[in-house]
Structure 1
Amino acid sequence: MDRSGHEDAHPSTGATEPRVDTSSPNVARMYDYYLGGAANFAVDREAAERALAITPEIGRFARMNREFLGRVVRYLCERDIDQFLDLGSGVPTVGNVHEIAHQHNPDARVAYVDHESVAIAHARALLAEEPYVSATQADIRRPAEVLSAPGVAGLLDFSRPVAVLAVAIMHFVPDADDPVGILRAYRAACAPGSYLALSHAATITMTESESQRGQGVYRSTTTPLVLRDRDEIAALFDGCDLVEPGLTPINHWPSQTEESPANGYGAVAELR
């Protein structure tokens, strides 16, 4: 979108940039604020501060989750994975998937997908000189549309192993939208030897009051937060073989630490 507010076509994809909605807080921009980014608006900062006032654990989850993502990408690169589909990638910040992957393999391909226009606008600006990285605006709840999008289908070769990253995104998908079925559709598109990595917010150390009040803040956004317990999160990996150590608090993956658990679980599964 140009400064006059008109929609512009992105030069590499032909996709139009929709208008940015700043009338209500957005979870991708709130997450960016938790991580110290600048791609957020007053409405996002206000909502994020209300959440942090209820419990600082929300901000800690964001930081611990970002570190989890980095460890996962390194783990996958060490297993020769050189293609990544990052669902709900959010606003680009330090430690992006492609930055970590390219440290291991400069030819690694990364397809970012997000529904938030600010996130995609920032990603496209950041990736303008990156031939092996794309940013696609799409709803991850529609796997067929995501998988057929030019930035995904034209970049990733699904006849070879791909890592599907669903990091801190499925807790924004309500049960009514069938999160298990959504992930199953992405898995079905992948060749054997692919991986699914997932993290999900949960109430581990937070009180019931903190959990309920925190979710209340997110109900003011366009994508309310759905906290699930460990068994419900494990069900998202239905039929998968989890690599060691299985489903653990995100800051305890891949090895146990004495640090108190962050309020979220994560795991990696190899797809057969």
Structure 2
Amino acid sequence: MSVPRSNSLPARVRSDVAHNARVWNYWLGGTDHFPVDRAVGDRVTGMYPSIGEVARADRAFLGRAVRYLAGDAGIGQFLDIGTGLPTAENTHEVAQHTAPDARVVYVDNDPIVLAHARSLLTSSPEGATEYIEADARHPGQILRAARPTLDLERPVAVMLLGILSFVLDTDEALRIVRQLMDAVPSGSHLVLTHPTLELGGEGNEAAMRFWNENATPPITARTRFEFAAFLSGLDLVEPGIVSCARWRPAPGSSGPEVAQFGAVARKR
């Protein structure tokens, strides 16, 4: 998979400014990025060498959380907001491997993600996979667009991996989470990851400052207390709020702790 040629790029794509979805893809070893994304990604890595581990740990967390939800928790519907560029082990692939009839809706507002998603995010014959172009700041729009694919009267896994860090105002981020979770029934789950400065990583703060000056969208870290507020009123699934690398790792495969909180919680 590679970035479309420049003469076929969607009009809204800026190839001269680094963008999170493409830089993240670069850190994960993908091919969907421009020279500016690689340059910024390398500068961030120079300042914060463990950023690649963060990206890989976040992706591995997604797989473990979805396997748990589609298996032990019996969740058959997934709303993945801020999905990013497709790579290996996407949400629908993991969910439908465990539950072939799982239904997955992806949401993103990056035009390159859109260019790839509809051709790459296919589905099992028994299930369904759909892609919505929308901004995480508009949960009402997302919920309306998801209804043809997801039955919001039945439990849904709402997935917000790394996306709330791009909503700089914490009150707005809380509003987004509450509106989404208010719209789904008891038994639904919330899946979150979020960068933090509390789990170590020398250079993390400086790297974020460099990112905000040289790339888009701007990002913010949050404390454990702020992260926990997103989960207020929900029942945390063990082991609770931890580094995403330490959330239910496979036996003997726990990687280094990374500066990214991860948690799964159930709506009562």
Pairwise CA distance, 1:222: 2.5
Q: 1:180 to 1:95 in 2, by over 3 A?
A: same
AA in 1 matched with 2:186? P
Aligned-pair distance for 1:241?
1.4
Quote how far apart the aligned CAs of 1:56 are.
Answer: 1.6
Q: Give the letter for the 1:230 counterpart.
A: R
Q: Is the 8 A contact 1:109 1:133 kept in 2?
A: yes
Q: CA deviation at 1:73?
A: 0.1
The aligned amino acid for 2:140 is A
1:60 aligns with 2:56: no
**2:32 matched residue in structure 1:** 39
Counterpart of 2:55 in structure 1: which amino acid? Answer: A
1:181 aligns with 2:211: no
The SS at the match of 2:221 is coil
**Which residue of the other structure, out of 14, 28, 32, is the alignment partner of 1:21?**
14
Q: Secondary structure at the match of 1:161?
A: coil
> Do the aligned partners of 1:180 and 1:237 also contact (CA within 8 Å) in 2?
no
Q: Displacement of 1:143 after TM fit?
A: 0.3
- Displacement of 1:261: 1.1
List, as ranges, runs of 4+ consecutive aligned residues in structure 1 with deviation greater than 3 Å. Answer: 2-7, 128-131, 255-260
**Aligned positions of 1:1-272 closer than 5 A:** 19-78=12-71, 79-127=73-121, 132-149=128-145, 152-175=146-169, 178-203=172-197, 204-207=199-202, 210-219=203-212, 220-254=214-248, 259-272=255-268
Cα distance in 2 between the residues matched to 1:18 and 1:75: 39
Q: What's the CA shift for 1:217?
A: 2.6
Q: Give the drift of 1:259.
A: 4.4
CA distance in 2 between counterparts of 1:264 and 1:22 reads 28
Is the contact made by 1:141 and 1:177 (CA closer than 8 Å) also made in structure 2?
no
Q: 8 Å contact 1:32–1:40 — kept in the other structure?
A: yes
Cα distance in 2, alignment partners of residues 177 and 58 from structure 1: 27
Output the CA distance in 2 between the equivalents of 1:238 and 1:104. 29
Q: CA RMSD in A?
A: 2.1
TM-score relative to the length of structure 1: 0.89
Aligned partners of 1:199 and 1:192: how far apart in 2?
22
Structure 1 residue 239: Cα displacement: 1.8
- Secondary structure at the counterpart of residue 231 of structure 2: coil
